[in-house]
């Protein structure tokens, strides 16, 4: 039988959920992180080159995307309820960003 730690990295089956709201959140966060990491690994491991048939059906691919969406939504909900949500978004290297600044502020900084 495959151990939980083998299937879900970062999740230990030996650690039992503790009682109490903070402890429950901690366990749930660990569980969500393990599920999210596993789903992302499945997506990466099954990625195929353009033009080749993907080993997973379109329905399975959509189910993985839906599960990731649910996990992320729950993670954000927990972060908001504990005051740790930062609203940070990833920045992609191929996105162009525009920064504006005042010439007067630049002159003040240089002088």
More confident residue, 95 or 34: 34
Question: Is a pLDDT exceeding 60 seen at residue 3?
Answer: no
CB 54 within 8 A of CB 61: yes
Q: Write out the residue range of the structural domain in which residue 41 sits.
A: 4-88
Residue 77 included in any domain = yes
pLDDT digits (tens, 9 = 90+) for 23-82: 778 899 999 999 999 999 999 999 999 899 999 999 999 999 999 999 999 998 998 888
100 belongs to a structural domain: no
Confidence bin at 4 (pLDDT 50/70/90): very low
Number of separate domains in the chain = 1
In a domain, 46, yes or no: yes
Report if residue 33 sits inside a domain: yes
In a domain, 21, yes or no: yes
The pLDDT of residue 98 is: 65
Q: What is the pLDDT of residues 72-89, one digit of tens each?
A: 999 989 988 888 777 666
User: What sign does the dihedral 59-32-39-44 (CA atoms) show?
Assistant: positive
Residue 106 lies in a domain: no
Which of 10-24, 53-67, 85-99 has the highest mean predicted lDDT (pLDDT)? Answer: 53-67
In a domain, 102, yes or no: no
Q: Is residue 93 part of a domain?
A: no
């Amino acid at each position: 039988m495959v151990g939980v730690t083998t299937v879900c990295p970062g999740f230990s089956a030996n650690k039992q959920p503790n009682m109490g709201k903070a402890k429950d959140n901690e366990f749930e966060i660990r569980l969500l992180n393990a599920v999210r990491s596993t789903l992302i690994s499945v997506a990466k491991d099954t990625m195929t080159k353009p033009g080749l048939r993907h080993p997973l059906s379109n329905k399975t691919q959509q189910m993985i995307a839906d599960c990731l969406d649910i996990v992320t939504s729950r993670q954000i909900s927990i972060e908001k309820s504990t005051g740790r949500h930062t609203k940070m978004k990833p920045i992609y290297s191929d996105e162009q960003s525009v920064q504006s600044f005042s010439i007067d502020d630049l002159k003040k900084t240089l002088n």
